[in-house]
């Protein structure tokens, strides 16, 4: 996302909140402004708590509190952060001591789904030694051989199809509404194909996404989400107040914004959950607030999105760049990565 958008100090940025990871990474590029938006208030509360933890705690306490490192005093640290939170965020986290105790980086629904997979399903397929061996391979050629000869056994394929099939994903992994516009017949088979790509064509040596799914840990915080790295901590601490949090729909925020206000947009997978008509309307709202030459980056998981014909004169794909970045992407579960730029219509 950060490589695609190439944020500079002259940019005004909109970023979908999600867990805050991409938004914090964009802040490291020192934009003029960064507005973090999400229609889900729980995502805003999560980002707000991470922001206050960065601002108030020292680095060791921060990575311990959020769950990136072991910590025995998370509730104590929360009591220190609590007065700095908004009333809404404080009310939410006061009632979630178990999430705080586990570490908030593990609190998302998809993270919990991976936890069930890691703790219950994966041990039925591979031993801890086999997992460690996969993560220790240094040559891509050997990684491919290992996957085809050892990892990709019958139990792996069978249990993967069950656990990552539509039924369990709808009921445990994601909200059922996320699948409203999905037309793919066999979700599990498609996700298995993407996983194979992620495990044979992208090195596992520095893939923190694979490491987290398989172990629930990050061995090297400098090689994971940039906001968790100690080398970035002081910059984030000194600039966190520049983030504007907006709890509300993207469309509502866009309609309330002035024309030509923004130059870079991290849209996460927001287009995934829209009807075709809503997608076109949202894109029109985006174009109204974008400057000429603005860049939009977005992911799709199961619902592919192309630029509508009627808007093709105002926005163009950066196909070669997006394809290159997607081919080496470590979060291999996604189906496409789109990078578009606006042109004078």
Angle at 57 between CA 55 and CA 63, to 5 degrees: 105
Tell me, what's the pLDDT at 96? 96
Res. 25 pLDDT band, cuts 50 70 90: very high
In whole angstroms, give the CA distance from residue 74 to residue 67: 9
> Which residues does 165 contact at the CB level (< 8 Å), separation at least 6?
187, 188
Query: Is the predicted pLDDT of residue 252 greater than 80, yes or no?
Result: yes
The percent of residues in the chain predicted with pLDDT above 70, rounded, is 96
* Angle made by CA atoms 193, 198, 200, in degrees to the nearest 5: 95
Write the pLDDT tens digit of every residue in 30-67: 999 999 999 999 999 999 999 999 999 999 999 999 99
What's the DSSP call for residue 120? Answer: I
Pairing mode of beta strands 336-342, 290-300: antiparallel
Q: pLDDT tens, 189-226?
A: 999 999 998 899 889 888 899 999 999 999 999 999 99
Average pLDDT, the chain: 91
Domain ranges of the chain: 2-39+248-342, 109-216
- Within 10 angstroms of residue 58's Cβ, the number of other Cβ atoms is 10
Q: Do the beta carbons of residue 79 and residue 52 sit within 8 Å?
A: no
Both tokens assigned to 93: 């986290």
What pLDDT is stored for residue 315 in this prediction?
93
Coil vs helix vs strand at 39: coil
Q: Please state at what angle helix 208-215 crosses helix 187-200, rounded to 10 degrees.
A: 120
Q: What is the pLDDT of residue 185?
A: 76
Q: Which residues contact 172 (CB under 8 A, 6 or more apart)?
A: 113, 116
Residue 294 has pLDDT above 90, yes or no: yes
257 — pLDDT class (breaks 50, 70, 90) = very high
Pairing of strands 262-266, 12-16: parallel
- Report the distance separating Cα 15 and Cα 2, nearest Å: 11
* pLDDT(248) > 70: yes
Average pLDDT of 17-26?
A: 94
- Find the mean pLDDT for residues 271-298: 93
Question: At 94, phi and psi to the nearest 5?
Answer: -60, -30
Within 10 A of 310 (CB to CB), how many other CB atoms are there? Answer: 10
Q: How far apart are CA 322 and CA 146, in angstroms?
A: 29
Contacts of residue 3, Cβ cutoff 8 Å, sequence gap at least 6: 325
- The closest alpha carbon to 308, from 278, 272, 267, belongs to 278
pLDDT at 175: 63
pLDDT in tens, 115-141: 999 999 999 999 999 999 999 999 999
| CA angle 63–64–66, rounded 5-degree value | 65
Domain covering 2-39+248-342 in this structure, CATH number: 3.40.50.150
Answer whether residue 69 shows pLDDT above 90.
Answer: yes
Secondary structure letter of residue 48 according to DSSP: H
Is the pLDDT reported for residue 79 higher than 60? Answer: yes
Neighbours of 285 (CB within 10 A): 17
Is-contact 245 44, C-beta < 8 A? Answer: yes
CA atoms within 13 A on the CB side of 30: 6
- Mean pLDDT within 291-308: 90
Q: Cα separation of 145 and 154, whole Å?
A: 16
């Amino acid at each position: 996302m950060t490589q695609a958008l190439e944020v500079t100090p002259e940019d005004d940025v909109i970023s979908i909140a999600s867990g805050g990871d991409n938004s914090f990474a964009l802040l490291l590029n020192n934009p003029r402004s960064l507005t973090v938006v999400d229609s889900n208030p729980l995502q805003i509360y999560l980002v707000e708590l991470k922001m206050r933890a960065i601002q108030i705690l020292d680095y060791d306490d921060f990575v311990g509190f959020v769950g990136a490192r072991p910590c025995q005093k998370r509730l104590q640290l929360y009591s220190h952060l609590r007065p700095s939170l908004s009333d809404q965020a404080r009310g939410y986290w006061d009632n979630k001591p178990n999430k705080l105790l586990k570490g908030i980086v593990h609190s998302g629904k998809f993270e919990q789904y991976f936890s069930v997979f890691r703790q219950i399903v994966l041990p039925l397929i591979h031993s801890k030694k086999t997992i460690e061996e996969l993560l220790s391979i240094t040559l891509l050629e050997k990684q491919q051989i290992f996957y085809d000869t050892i990892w990709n056994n019958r139990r792996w394929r069978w249990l993967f199809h069950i656990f990552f099939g539509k039924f369990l994903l709808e009921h445990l992994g994601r909200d059922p509404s996320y699948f409203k516009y999905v037309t793919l017949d066999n979700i599990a088979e498609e996700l298995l194909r993407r996983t194979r790509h992620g495990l044979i064509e992208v090195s596992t040596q520095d893939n923190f996404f694979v490491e987290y799914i398989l172990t629930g840990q990050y061995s090297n915080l400098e090689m994971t989400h940039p906001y968790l790295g100690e080398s970035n901590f002081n910059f984030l601490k000194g600039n966190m107040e520049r983030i504007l949090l907006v709890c509300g729909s993207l469309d509502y925020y866009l309609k309330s914004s002035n024309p030509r206000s923004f130059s870079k947009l991290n849209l996460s997978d927001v287009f995934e959950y829209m009807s075709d008509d809503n997608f076109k309307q949202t894109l029109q709202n985006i174009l109204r607030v974008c400057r000429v030459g603005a860049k939009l980056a977005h992911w799709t998981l199961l619902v592919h999105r192309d630029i509508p014909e009627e808007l093709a004169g105002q926005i163009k794909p950066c196909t070669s760049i997006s394809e290159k970045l997607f081919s080496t992407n470590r979060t291999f579960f996604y189906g496409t990565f789109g990078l578009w730029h606006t042109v004078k219509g």
